[in-house]
Amino acid sequence: MRAKSLKLVNIRSYNEENIEFPPGTTLFEGDIGSGKSTILLAIEFALFGLGDQKGASLLRLGAKEGYVTFTFEMNGEVYEVQRKLARKEKTVQQKEGYITISGKRYDLSPTELKEKILEILKFNEPPNPKAQSVIYRYAIFTPQEEMKSILWAPPQDRLQTMRKAFGIEDYKTAAENSKTLISKIKERSDILKGKIEDLDQKKKEQETKTDEIKKAEESLKKLAKEKEKLDSEIKQQESEMDKLREQEKELSSIQALIPKLKEDIKEKTKRKSTLQSENTEYKKEIEEQLQPQIEELNKLEKPTDKKEEELEKETEDTRNEERELLQTVSTLNTKIEEYQQIIDNKICPTCDREVDPQEFGEKLNNKKTERDQAEEKRKKLAEALENTQTLLKSLRNYNKSQENLKQLTQNLEDRKERLTKNLEEILELTNQVEKTDTELRKHQKRLGELKDVSEKIKQLKTALDSLKHKHEEAADKISKAEKQIEIYKEEKKKIETEIREKEKQVKTKQLLDEHRIWLQDYFTPTLESIEKHVMRNINQEFNLQLQKWFNILVDDPSKNVRVDEEFTPIIEQDRYEQNINYMSGGEKTSLALVYRLALNTIVRKVSTTMKTNILILDEPTDGFSKEQLFKVREILNELQDAQVILVSHERELESFADQVYKVEKRNGVSKVELST
């Protein structure tokens, strides 16, 4: 694998940064806390995800989202992988990312992305998203704080880590699994041995159950015949019971109907009596009131052919004419008085001249004659008016009597019609009462016929209950017999199954014993032998590499280094072992670096993916003297890696780096610039 470029957006102290990785040795130089190690952690995050670290440790404070895009080359193919982080409330989570392969983009979940990277790098590791890549951590990159941790790890943990890093843990795992399997096989074989001990006894039980089933089935046939006979008797009795139940319903219906019929007859008889009383009253009213009144009114004659309106008009005209005559008589009387006064005074009241008494005497007589004629005529009109008024009154009385006659005639017709209707209803009621009475007598007769039905039902029910009880007993016996047969069959089936299973177990035990012998005597010893041989060779090679880098870096002929069978580093000085806890800081860093380089070299040799290797070192020279710093050049030349990425605050490393990047933090934001 070779790194090509890295893009960081909102990662730790970086807002946005693009970094190119050319071949050769690249140094990222800067003060402590400037953001150098973030670059290396971002590469690991892009490849394998968060692992055991929290998302909040990578996402920039205050940023809602951030991502890392890493481009690398593997076996001539260029890949681009991107992972994203997003802040959700108080947590930071990994989001879906992508990888570009042969120009085609694949959007994948964090776990799917790790699976694809492990497949590309050919790292034989589980894709657990919460686990770091052991091969990457020990063969390519180890963070500064973990550089020395392997030196103080418990031996068994270190040895297991070595197995993972060298890719040979499968031998140990297989051997342990083999021993576990042998133990389980033996345990299983012992269990099977106990299970098959009673095989012959089970076969005898099978024969016994066969005989029991045969006897039970014969008994069941007898019970079935008895039940069949009871079924027939019960069916016959139930049919008879159904008939009696119908009669019982009929009886109940008649008992409910008879009071209704009696009440109906009573009501209709009462209604008939009421109608007869009404007719008696109507006849009496017709004979004693209506007919005599009508006959009396029919005898009346009409006083005139004139109408009331005509007589009223004549009356009004005569009264008006009489008033006019009265006015004339009054006027004439006034004139007569005037003439008489003139005659008595002999003076004209108008011109005061003397008048001729004879002349006014004639006028006076003429006026008196006119007056008397007018008075005579008025008297005749008064008499005529009185006659007309009398005639009008008589006509009005006649007309009123005719209206009364009309009403009486209508009343007479109504009463006659009511009499007819009542007679019709009386006749209908008479017929209905007779019909209802006939029906009542019929039901009363049927009631007598059905009076014993309840007793018959009671007797039949007692007999039927007895039959059903016997039937239930028979059914219960059959059910028990069937269940017993079923139990016998199930027991027989279970025994047969057990026999078949035990026969299989016999064969299985034989096969297990054969497998156990093969695993115990051949397979496991072979695995342990292979692992010891491989680990011995690796251990020897590791010691050579460790001593080689140690001798270059530590210029002290009295000191020597080696690892034991568990790869625990041992420092010897003048052939005496030295406790590494009492070494100086620079010596511990030197030991950690050479251990790291030896590990890198061995892993690269045993891993098929490390032929074109990349080496990433995070502050590898912390505590080194200047002489040791210059010896790092010699080590890097010896390694001959295609690509080396260094992170350090030591300026002395600039002289043997192919390109140097300056990392500075300004106002809390890290920037990377290529040094010229």
> What single letter denotes the amino acid at residue 542?
F
The DSSP element (H or E) to which 572 belongs, if any, is strand 569-573
d(CA 664, CA 673): 8
pLDDT tops 60 at residue 520: yes
The CA-atom distances, in angstroms, between 501 and each of 199, 202, 497, 505 are: 10, 11, 6, 6
**What percentage of the chain carries pLDDT values higher than 90?**
26
Task: Pick the range with the lowest mean pLDDT from 219-223, 426-430, 612-616, 656-660.
Answer: 612-616
The CA-atom distances, in angstroms, between 632 and each of 138, 554, 569, 594 are: 19, 11, 21, 10
d(CA 632, CA 645): 13
Contacts of 37 (CB under 8 A, 6+ apart): 143, 144, 618, 619, 647
d(CA 68, CA 83): 6
Residue 146 vs residue 280, higher pLDDT: 280
pLDDT tops 60 at residue 621: yes
Q: Comparing C-alpha atoms, which of 97, 40, 38, 47 is closest to residue 70?
A: 47
Q: Are 370 and 361 spatial neighbours (Cβ–Cβ below 8 Å)?
A: no
pLDDT tops 60 at residue 250: yes
Q: Are 594 and 629 spatial neighbours (Cβ–Cβ below 8 Å)?
A: no
pLDDT at residue number 128: 80
Task: Pick the range with the lowest mean pLDDT from 122-136, 193-207, 374-388, 480-494.
Answer: 122-136
The DSSP element (H or E) to which 609 belongs, if any, is none
Q: Strand, helix or coil at 558?
A: coil
pLDDT tops 70 at residue 147: no
Give the end-to-end CA distance of the chain in Å, rounded to a whole number: 27
Average pLDDT value for residue range 630-642: 79
What are the φ and ψ backbone dihedral angles of 570, each rounded to 5 degrees? -125, 125
Contacts of 67 (CB under 8 A, 6+ apart): 9, 10, 11, 82, 83, 84, 85, 97
pLDDT at residue number 607: 62
327 burial (CB, 10 Å; 0-12 / 13-18 / 19+) is exposed
Token reading at 510: 């034989």
Average pLDDT value for residue range 372-379: 89
Evaluated on CA atoms 535, 537, 539, 542, the torsion sign reads: negative
Q: Comparing C-alpha atoms, which of 150, 151, 148 is closest to residue 134?
A: 150
Is the backbone of residue 564 left (phi > 0), alpha (psi -120 to 50) or beta?
beta
Highest mean pLDDT among 109-113, 475-479, 587-591: 109-113
Torsion of CA 314, 316, 322, 328, to 10 degrees: -120
pTM of structure: 0.51
Q: Strand, helix or coil at 70?
A: strand
Paired residues of 563 in beta bridges: 569
Q: Comparing C-alpha atoms, which of 161, 76, 144, 67 is closest to residue 113?
A: 67
Contacts of 440 (CB under 8 A, 6+ apart): 258, 261, 262, 265
Evaluated on CA atoms 159, 165, 168, 171, the torsion sign reads: positive
pLDDT at residue number 148: 67
Average pLDDT value for residue range 86-90: 89
Is the backbone of residue 2 left (phi > 0), alpha (psi -120 to 50) or beta?
beta
Residue 361 vs residue 441, higher pLDDT: 441
Q: Strand, helix or coil at 326?
A: helix
Evaluated on CA atoms 28, 32, 34, 36, the torsion sign reads: positive
d(CA 309, CA 315): 10
Q: Strand, helix or coil at 561?
A: strand
pLDDT at residue number 608: 55
pLDDT at residue number 672: 95
Tokens 């039905």, located at residue: 453
Mean of the per-residue pLDDT values of the chain: 86
Task: Pick the range with the lowest mean pLDDT from 562-571, 628-637, 661-670.
Answer: 628-637
Token reading at 371: 């007056």
Average pLDDT value for residue range 568-593: 80
pLDDT at residue number 578: 79
The CA-atom distances, in angstroms, between 92 and each of 95, 202, 566 are: 10, 65, 40
Q: Which ranges constitute the DSSP H helices of 554-622?
A: 585-606
d(CA 234, CA 476): 16
Domains and CATH numbers, the chain: 1-140+613-676 (3.40.50.300), 219-451 (1.10.287)
What are the φ and ψ backbone dihedral angles of 132, each rounded to 5 degrees? -75, 160
